[in-house]
Amino acid sequence: MQINVETKPVGSAAYDVRKKRLVETIDRLYLRDARAPLQKMISRIHPADMAAILDDLPPAHVVDVFHAIADTRMAADVFNQLPVDRRTQLLTESSIEKLAGVLEHLPPDDLADLIGDLPEDQREQLMALLGRDSKDEVESLLQYDPNSAGGIMTTDFFSLPHSLSVEEAIENIRSREDVEMVFYLYLTDEMGRLVGVVSLRQLLLTRAGTPLHKVMNRRVMKVTTDTDQTTVAMLVDKYRLLAIPVVDEDNVLVGMITVDDVIDVIEEETTRDMLKMAGTSESETLTHSALKIASIRLPWLLAAFIGGLAATAVIGRYEEILGQVLVLSAFLPVIMGMAGNVGVQSATVAVRGLATGAIDVKDTLPLVLKELRVGLALGGFYGVILGIYGFFVHDSLQLGQVVGLTILGNMTGAALLAVLLPMMFQRLKVDPAVATGPFVTTAIDILGVLNYFVIATWIYRL
């Protein structure tokens, strides 16, 4: 965390202009091989902006310009904020030796994540080049599940013995300039166990000489290393914390998770949910291989494929009526499409509501009843319109009745299924996002087609 980084008020247009100019200047300096002015210029740019600038440079210049960052700490900050693509490029196109000096300055949690994602051989090479301390920290972090508190915490936190006095604490803060954000001071006993917390503000307001344990708050909100990252995010959000300490099973303080990491968790979980709902997974964003992406999407599509074949088989059984009333097949797209669309609407509302906590499993019945009414209203509306269309355009009362009734039934059923399935999944502790993709769509398709032909057989009395 750092403060106060931009020179200009931030309006996105002005910002874009400024960035574009910086990109051009830096690229020009690079092409002229003006190393000293380039380094000087770069040193004055905020790491977050430098990352954005690198992303905008011609790809062939990125590695060299990156290594023109003179300060390895800044380089680490920049690296940490580069998009995945550019990071991969740097990892593959520059020598591991050259990078190791930079990567050592990454926060231990980020370094561990990076190393965890590397292929086996690069991982060992890089580990061998790290300093003893970094290596130990990374190794201890790598043992945690990446989606747990242990996997996202930083070990680079600040804690003090609770027996110190206020001035001693301040003296300590003075001497440790490099640690991440110290607005909460976690206090430990002689065994390293978390016993309390003091905010910087309290420290500032307490008279000198007071021992910390007299002013500390003993009711520390904390999580254990194996707490799920979603729970951590939920807690930090709910209690509006800036950071939360992480303890092991003996209550020994082992790490800290800051609110900026929580924002990343929230973004990551949402992306995961959305991709799952669409029937793919976040792994596809990590690769450029079309075949690999296809292989990630393939199994999800299989459910839809089998469902489609089942619908094909259903229609096959009704070939007789299709032969007599050819126009029935023309209405298949609109009938299937409308049910599918209302299903996606209902499912999205349910899945997102469950994810944000706006909806609770205990609300299942009222929710289902609500969706039933919504489905009936929409189905009624479009049923009447499609019925009239069928009647007038094809001059057949029977056709109008069939398509009108079908769309009423299918839209209502789709709305109902699309809210019921996620709620059911949530109750069974299965991720409801899974329910929404091919699963619901397929169920809606098959039932919808079946309903269509049952109604058609009935109305045409075949």
- Nearer to its own copies (CB atom), residue 130 or residue 194: 194
Of residues 440-459, those binding its own copies (CB under 8 A): 441-442, 445, 449
Please tell me whether residue 254 binds its own copies under the rule CB under 8 A: no
Positions 165 through 204 that interact with its own copies (CB under 8 A): 170, 173-174, 182-184, 197, 199-201, 203-204
Contact between 384 and its own copies per CB under 8 A? no
Question: Which range of residues in 19-27, 108-116, 122-130, 229-237 is near its own copies by CB under 8 A?
Answer: 229-237
Q: How many whole angstroms separate alpha carbon 159 and alpha carbon 180? A: 11
Q: Is 209 a binder of its own copies (CB under 8 A)?
A: no
> Which residues from 293-312 bind its own copies, rule CB under 8 A?
293-294, 297-298, 300-301, 304-305, 307-309, 311-312
* By the rule CB under 8 A, 462 interacts with its own copies: no
When the beta carbons of 107 and 126 are compared against its own copies, the nearer one is 107
Q: Which x/- pattern over 28-57 shows residues binding its own copies (rule: CB under 8 A)?
A: ------------------x-x------xx-
Under the binding rule (CB under 8 A), the answer on residue 72 touching its own copies is no
Scanning residues 86 to 145, which ones bind its own copies (CB under 8 A)?
none
- The whole-angstrom separation of Cα 15 and Cα 406 is 54
Least distance in Å: CB of 201 to its own copies?
6
Q: Which is closer to its own copies, CB of 94 or CB of 281?
A: 281
Determine, following the binding rule CB under 8 A, whether residue 279 of this chain makes contact with its own copies: yes
Q: Which is nearer to its own copies, 163 or 271 (CB)?
A: 271
Stretch that binds its own copies, among 18-26, 34-42, 88-96, 274-282 (CB under 8 A): 274-282
> Is 347:436 a contact under the CB 8 Å cutoff?
yes
Q: Does 424 bind its own copies (CB under 8 A)?
A: no
Residue closer to its own copies by CB (options 164, 173) is 173
Q: Could you say which of 63, 68, 325, 342 contacts its own copies (CB under 8 A)? A: 342
Q: From the list 285, 392, 458, 462, which residue makes contact with its own copies (rule: CB under 8 A)? A: 285
Residue (of 137, 145, 60) closest to 103 by Cα position: 137
The yes or no reply on residue 60 touching its own copies (CB under 8 A) is no
**Closest residue by Cα to residue 191 from 254, 134, 256:** 254
Q: Is 377 in the site for its own copies (CB under 8 A)?
A: yes
Please say whether the dihedral angle defined by the alpha carbons of residues 58, 60, 63 and 67, taken in this order, is positive or negative.
negative
